[in-house]
Amino acid sequence: MTADGPRRGTVCTFAAAVYLRFEGERAISLYGSALAASPFQPSLILERPRLLGRLSSDARLVVVRGPRGCGKSTLITSWLAGFDGQRHVVRLSARGLDADDWWGGVLAALPTEVLSRAGAAAGSFDAVVTALDDLHEPLVLVVDGLGENSGGRLAEQLIELLRRHRHIRVIAETHLRPFGPAQSASVDYDEIDYPELRFTIDEVAQLHLEAGLTISEQACQRLYRQVSGTVMPTVLAVRTAERIGHPVIDQFGSPCPEYVTALVDMAEEMLAESEIAPWRTAVTKCALARKLCADTIAIVGIDDPETTLPTLEQLGLLQRRRDNVPECPPGLRLPLLELARRAEPVEVRETLDVLASQRLSADDVTEAMHYGSDAGNWTLVGEIIETHFVRILGEDLDGIHRVLQMFPAADRAPFPIVRTVRAILTGLNEVPILPVLLPESIEELAGIGASRDALETAGRGTINAIGLRRRGAYHQAAVVAGRVATILDAAEPHLDPACSAYMAVLRQQLGNTCQLAGALAQSTALFQQAYQADSAFAARLSAGSIALNRALQGDIRLAEQWLVTEADEPYQRGLWGETTRLPGRCAAAIAEMECFDIAAATAILEDIGEPDFRQERWAFIAYARGLWSLLRGEPVEGIDWIDRIIAEHARFYAPDSLAFSLLTAMKVDLDLAAGHTNAALATVTGIEASGYVPLAVSRARTELLTGQYEAAVAAATEIAWRPESYPRTRIDALLIEAAAHVHLGDETAAVDGWRTAVMIANRSGCCLPFVFIDDRVRDRLTELSGVAQPQRVPPTTVFAPGPLPIVRLTPREQVMLDKIIEGGTIVQIGKELHVSTNTVKTQLRSLYKKLGASSKEQAIAQAKRLQLVHDRHDTEASRASLDTGPVADSADAYEPSIYKALINQMSVAVVIHGADGRVVEANQAFADLLGYTLCEAQRLTATDVVHPSAMRERNADATRLISGSVSELATERPLVHKDGTTLWAKVRKAAIEIDGEPVVMVIIEKAEPGVGFRTG
Residue by residue, DSSP assigns 369-409 as HHHHHHHT-HHHHHHHHHHHHHHHHHH-HHHHHHHHHHS-G
Confidence of residue 710 (pLDDT cuts 50, 70, 90): very high
CB atoms within 10 A of CB 391: 18
Q: What percent of the chain has pLDDT over 90?
A: 32
The predicted pLDDT at position 1010 comes to 40
Q: Is the pLDDT of residue 966 over 90?
A: no
Confidence of residue 842 (pLDDT cuts 50, 70, 90): confident
Q: Is the pLDDT of residue 33 over 60?
A: no
CB atoms within 10 A of CB 436: 18
Q: Which residues contact 579 (CB under 8 A, 6 or more apart)?
A: none
CB distance 818 to 873 below 8 Å:
yes
pLDDT in tens, 691-704: 578 888 999 999 99
- Contacts of residues 15-24 at CB distance under 8 Å and 24 or more positions apart, as own/partner, are 15/80, 15/82, 15/83, 15/84, 15/85, 15/86, 15/87, 15/89, 16/85, 18/80, 18/81, 18/83, 18/89, 19/81, 19/83, 22/77, 22/80, 22/81
Q: Is the pLDDT of residue 246 over 90?
A: no
Q: Is the pLDDT of residue 127 over 80?
A: yes
Which position has the higher pLDDT, 996 or 395? 395
CB distance 735 to 698 below 8 Å:
no
The Cα–Cα gap between 104 and 894 comes to 83
Mean pLDDT value across residues 769-791 = 94
The Cα–Cα gap between 832 and 817 comes to 14
Give whole-number Cα distances, 803 to 119, 609, 708, 732, in Å: 88, 36, 9, 18
Instruction: For residue 565, give the 3-state DSSP assignment.
Output: helix
The predicted pLDDT at position 888 comes to 33
The predicted pLDDT at position 900 comes to 65
The predicted pLDDT at position 938 comes to 83
CB distance 157 to 147 below 8 Å:
no
- Using alpha carbons, select from 774, 760, 764, 831 the residue that is nearest to residue 803: 774
Q: Is the pLDDT of residue 36 over 70?
A: no
Confidence of residue 485 (pLDDT cuts 50, 70, 90): very high
The predicted pLDDT at position 406 comes to 86
The Cα–Cα gap between 384 and 386 comes to 6
Which position has the higher pLDDT, 388 or 512? 512
The predicted pLDDT at position 779 comes to 94
- Least confident residue range of 10-19, 374-383, 765-774, 901-910: 10-19
414 preceded by a cis bond (ω within 30 of 0): no
Mean pLDDT value across residues 565-569 = 82
Which position has the higher pLDDT, 872 or 354? 354
Mean pLDDT value across residues 928-957 = 85
pLDDT in tens, 443-466: 999 999 999 888 888 888 888 888
Q: Which residue type, as a one-letter code, is found at position 658?
A: L
- Cα dihedral: 104, 109, 112, 115 (round 10): -30
Mean pLDDT over the full length of the chain: 82
pLDDT in tens, 813-831: 888 888 888 888 888 888 8
Give whole-number Cα distances, 485 to 452, 480, 547, 619, 637, in Å: 17, 9, 21, 25, 41
Mean pLDDT value across residues 234-262 = 85
The predicted pLDDT at position 297 comes to 92
Mean pLDDT value across residues 252-270 = 87
Q: Is the pLDDT of residue 621 over 90?
A: yes
The model carries a pTM of 0.62
The predicted pLDDT at position 42 comes to 35
Q: Which of 484-488, 531-535, 796-800 has the highest mean pLDDT?
A: 484-488
Mean pLDDT value across residues 858-887 = 54
Instruction: For residue 131, give the 3-state DSSP assignment.
Output: helix
- Using alpha carbons, select from 531, 464, 533, 472 the residue that is nearest to residue 497: 533
- Using alpha carbons, select from 575, 571, 615, 570 the residue that is nearest to residue 200: 575
- Using alpha carbons, select from 978, 903, 902 the residue that is nearest to residue 933: 978
Q: Is the pLDDT of residue 375 over 70?
A: yes
pLDDT in tens, 497-529: 778 888 888 899 999 999 999 999 999 999 999
Mean pLDDT value across residues 256-263 = 89
Q: What is the CA radius of gyration of the chain?
A: 35
Q: Is the pLDDT of residue 40 over 80?
A: no
Q: What is the DSSP string of 591-645?
A: HHHHTT-HHHHHHHHHHH-SPPTT-TTHHHHHHHHHHHHHHTT-HHHHHHHHHHH
Mean pLDDT value across residues 612-632 = 90
Q: Is the pLDDT of residue 589 over 90?
A: yes
Which position has the higher pLDDT, 3 or 216? 216
The Cα–Cα gap between 29 and 809 comes to 72
CB atoms within 10 A of CB 887: 18
Cβ burial, residue 745 (10 Å; 0-12/13-18/19+): exposed
Confidence of residue 4 (pLDDT cuts 50, 70, 90): very low
The Cα–Cα gap between 832 and 854 comes to 24
pLDDT in tens, 739-761: 999 999 999 999 999 999 999 99
Q: Is the pLDDT of residue 10 over 50?
A: no
- Using alpha carbons, select from 725, 620, 638, 716 the residue that is nearest to residue 676: 638
CA triple 609-614-617, angle to 5 deg: 65
Confidence of residue 490 (pLDDT cuts 50, 70, 90): very high
- Using alpha carbons, select from 464, 469, 543, 479 the residue that is nearest to residue 508: 543
Q: Is the pLDDT of residue 636 over 80?
A: yes
DSSP alpha helix (H) spans, 187-293: 194-197, 201-210, 217-227, 231-244, 257-271, 280-288
Q: Is the pLDDT of residue 41 over 50?
A: no
The Cα–Cα gap between 737 and 731 comes to 10
- Least confident residue range of 104-113, 348-357, 538-547: 104-113
The predicted pLDDT at position 8 comes to 30
CB distance 19 to 83 below 8 Å:
yes
CB distance 548 to 563 below 8 Å:
no
Confidence of residue 574 (pLDDT cuts 50, 70, 90): low
- Least confident residue range of 50-64, 363-377, 618-632, 914-928: 914-928
Mean pLDDT value across residues 421-442 = 68
Q: Is the pLDDT of residue 1011 over 60?
A: no
Q: If you count them, how many residues does the chain have?
A: 1016
Confidence of residue 171 (pLDDT cuts 50, 70, 90): very high
The predicted pLDDT at position 84 comes to 56
